[in-house]
Amino acid sequence: MNSPMVSLQCLPFVFLIFFTSVSATLVNIPRLSPIRGTFLQDSETVSASISEDFQTFYYDQTLDHFNYRPESYTTFKQRYVINFKYWGGATSHAPIFVYFGAEEPLDDDLFNIGFLPDNALQFKALIVYIEHRYYGQSVPFGSREEALGNSSTLGYFNSAQAIADYAEIILHVKKKLRAKHSPVIVIGGSYGGMLASWFRLKYPHVALGALASSAPILYFDDITPQNGYYSIVTKDFREVSETCYQTIRKSWSEIDKVASKRNGLSILSKEFKTCNPLSTSSELKDYLDSMYSAAAQYNDPPDYPVTIVCGGIDGAPSNTSILGKIFAGVVAYSGISSCYVNQPRNISETSVGWTWQTCSEMVIPIGRNNDTMFPPDPFILSSYIEYCTSMYGVPPRPHWVTSYYGGHDLIAWIYSLQCKVIQSGWSGSERLRLKSSKDGSPSALMEYIIVGNVDSTLIIAMDMSICGLRSTCISEEPLEPEELTHSISKGAILNFIIGMSNNRLFRVAPINEGSAKQEPIVNG
C-alpha cells in the first residue's frame, strides 16, 4: 500500500532511515540499510561483477582535510566509478550526476540505483559513483583491520571528511574531462542523502543542486520527537490493517507473559523456531522490532512488505493464538526456513563502520513511547554515552551535527535564499525512490531541480518523510508529483541544462545516442 511522502524544494537529500533504540538495559546500534556482504571482500570477485558500462578509478585521497600536521598529508586509494554511456560531453555542458556512497561498499549501488540511468538517458548526463571512506575498497591505513582497529585511526572516519573527499574527486573529474561548465547534481539516499544535502550547504560552488531521499537531517538534538520514526512505522501498519496493528500491539505483553513462566523461554523458542535457544525475551522482541521497522522502511512496490507481514498475521486460522499469528507474519516476511531469530550473521563492514559513526557524531535519538504499536523504550542519552565510551574509549558528540550543519536553522537558511518549498500531501514510508523512476515521479522531481534554477534561485528537494518530520516543514500549498510534472515544460527539460558559469544558461546540442566521446581520466 502506498504511503505519503513529503517533498521540499530547495535542497536535495537521501533514502532509508536510522534505527536507534537505547534503554538502560539494552543498546541497539542504529543502522541505515540492510547488512550486505562480508567483513572482508574478494577484490577479484568484485571487479569481475562490474558491467562494461562502468569504468573504475582510484583517487589518491587526503587522509585529513582539516589540518596541516605532516600525517594529515597521508593518502589512501578512494574508489569511484563512472558510467560514460549517456553523457553528452563537456562541450555540450551536459550535466554530471554524482551518487554519494554511504555506509557500505559501492558495488550494490551500481546496479540497484536505477534512478540514475533512467534520468541520465534523458539529460545526457555523466554518472559518477563515489565510495565512502572506510567502506569497500576505500580504506585508509592499508587494511580494514588497521583502519577500524582503534579510535585513533577511526578518528578520520566522519561525515565532514567524507564530503570533503567527494568535493576533491568531483573537481578532479571535472578537470580531467574539461567539464568546467557541466552542472553537478549530487544524489544520495538515507545517510548518503544526508551527505548530499550537507554537501550542497558546505560546497555550493561545486554542486548546483542536491537530491536526497529519506534523509533525516533533523533527527538530532531532540528537534524531532523521539518516537517520530516508530509513529510512522505504526501508521504504515495501521493503514494496511487495523487487526494486524492490534495483534502486534498486544503481542509484546503476551511475550512477557509467556517468558515469565517456568520454561517460558523454551516455549517461545519452540513457538518461533529460533535457530538457537532464547536467553532473554528481548532477543525475540528485538528481532520483531527490526522486522516491522524494516518492512515499513522498505515498503516499496512490487512487494510491499508491510502488506506481506499483515497478510500472514491476518491470514492465520481464527483459533490461532496471538503469538501464533505473529509467527505467521514472520514466515510470510522471511519465507520458509529451517529456523528464525538468532540466525548466524557475518560481521559486515557496515555493522562495524556504522557502529563507530553512530557512536561518534551520528547520534540519532530514536525512542518509543506509549503511542506506538511497540513497547515503550525511550532513548536515554546518558546510557548511550556510557555504552559508546566503553566501546571506543571516547564519548560521542551528540550536538556536533546540529552545530556544524544546522538544525532548524537549516530550514531558516533555505528560506533566506528565497527558495520555493513544495510540500507534498504524502507522508510516511513512501519516499522519493532511487531504485527506478518507472512511475514518473522521481524524474519529475529531477526535472524541477534542474529547470528550477533558471531564475538563479537555489533549488533543493527534501524528503524527510520517514522521520515523521512533516510538521517541521513550512510550506506553500501541497503539490502532488503529477502536478509538479505538468507545471514544467518538457521541451525546456529536453533542450536546456543549467550551467554554473557566470549564471549563463547553456543549450544542449542534439546528440545521437552513443556519439558522446570521453577523454581518459588519469588516476590520482
Confidence band for 50, pLDDT divided at 50, 70 and 90: low
Among 25-39, 101-115, 289-303, whose mean pLDDT is lowest?
25-39
With respect to residue 297, please indicate whether it lies within any of the assigned structural domains.
Answer: yes
Whether 212 and 8 have beta carbons less than 8 Å apart is answered as no
Which of 334, 367, 393 is the C-terminal boundary of a domain? 334
Q: Are residues 174 and 308 in the same domain?
A: no
Residue 10 per-residue DSSP state = S
- Those residues whose C-beta lies under 8 Å from the C-beta of residue 56, and which sit 6 or more positions away, are 47, 50, 79, 80, 81
Q: Is the pLDDT of residue 108 over 70?
A: yes
Position 436 scores a pLDDT of 56
Question: What are 159-216's pLDDT values in tens digits?
Answer: 999 999 999 999 999 999 999 999 999 999 889 989 998 998 899 999 988 887 778 8
Q: Is the pLDDT of residue 460 over 70?
A: no
Question: What are 216-242's pLDDT values in tens digits?
Answer: 888 899 888 999 889 999 999 999 999
With respect to residue 139, please indicate whether it lies within any of the assigned structural domains.
Answer: yes
With respect to residue 396, please indicate whether it lies within any of the assigned structural domains.
Answer: no
Domain count across the chain:
2
Q: Are residues 302 and 182 in the same domain?
A: no
Q: Is the pLDDT of residue 34 over 90?
A: no
With respect to residue 56, please indicate whether it lies within any of the assigned structural domains.
Answer: no
Query: Which range has the top average pLDDT, 109-118, 184-193, 237-246, 408-417?
Result: 237-246
Residue 235: all three cell numbers together:
501508521
Largest Cα–Cα separation, the chain = 77
Residue 12: closest CA among 184, 239, 222: 184
With respect to residue 347, please indicate whether it lies within any of the assigned structural domains.
Answer: no
CATH number at residue 215: 3.40.50
Q: Bridge-partner residues for 211, per DSSP?
A: 187, 461
Euclidean distance between CA atoms 456 and 208, whole angstroms: 10
Residue 362: all three cell numbers together:
551520528
Q: Are residues 66 and 206 in the same domain?
A: yes
Q: Are residues 90 and 165 in the same domain?
A: yes
Position 85 scores a pLDDT of 94
With respect to residue 450, please indicate whether it lies within any of the assigned structural domains.
Answer: yes
With respect to residue 55, please indicate whether it lies within any of the assigned structural domains.
Answer: no
Q: Are residues 279 and 201 in the same domain?
A: no
Residue 394: closest CA among 351, 352, 359, 357: 359
Euclidean distance between CA atoms 38 and 48, whole angstroms: 17
Q: Are residues 217 and 232 in the same domain?
A: no
Q: β-strands 8-9, 461-462: how paired?
A: antiparallel
- Average pLDDT along the chain: 76
Task: List the domain range (segments joined by +) for residue 278.
Answer: 228-334
Euclidean distance between CA atoms 35 and 511, whole angstroms: 41
Euclidean distance between CA atoms 133 and 435, whole angstroms: 23
What's phi and psi for 315, nearest 5 deg?
Answer: -85, -5
Helical spans, DSSP H, in 281-425: 281-297, 305-314, 322-334, 349-358, 381-392, 400-405, 408-416
Q: Are residues 141 and 248 in the same domain?
A: no
Whether 417 and 1 have beta carbons less than 8 Å apart is answered as no
With respect to residue 499, please indicate whether it lies within any of the assigned structural domains.
Answer: yes
Q: Are residues 410 and 502 in the same domain?
A: yes
**What is the Cα 305 distance to its own chain's centre?**
18
Q: β-strands 8-9, 21-22: how paired?
A: unpaired
Q: Are residues 186 and 287 in the same domain?
A: no
Euclidean distance between CA atoms 30 and 282, whole angstroms: 16
Residue keyed to cell 546540529: 402
Higher-confidence position of 51 and 337: 337
Cis peptide before 302 (omega within 30 of 0): yes
Position 416 scores a pLDDT of 58
* C-alpha dist (Å) from residue 103 to 159, 162, 194, 202, 251: 11, 11, 12, 20, 33
Whether 408 and 472 have beta carbons less than 8 Å apart is answered as yes
Element (H, E) at 186: strand 184-189
- Report the length, in residues, of the chain: 524
Residue 314: all three cell numbers together:
491476518
Higher-confidence position of 386 and 418: 386
Which of 334, 361, 382 is the C-terminal boundary of a domain? 334
What's phi and psi for 438, nearest 5 deg?
Answer: -65, -30
Q: Are residues 68 and 217 in the same domain?
A: yes
Which of 299, 318, 334 is the C-terminal boundary of a domain? 334
Q: Is 129 helix (H, G, I), strand (E, B) or coil?
A: strand
Q: Are residues 70 and 159 in the same domain?
A: yes
Residue 187: closest CA among 87, 111, 102, 97: 97
Higher-confidence position of 5 and 61: 61
Q: Are residues 211 and 274 in the same domain?
A: no
Range 400-423 average pLDDT:
66
Q: Is 45 helix (H, G, I), strand (E, B) or coil?
A: helix
Position 357 scores a pLDDT of 95
Whether 61 and 170 have beta carbons less than 8 Å apart is answered as no
Sign of the four-CA dihedral 209, 210, 216, 217 = negative
Whether 361 and 401 have beta carbons less than 8 Å apart is answered as yes
CATH number at residue 297: 1.20.120.980
Position 84 scores a pLDDT of 96
Position 429 scores a pLDDT of 36
Range 78-93 average pLDDT:
96
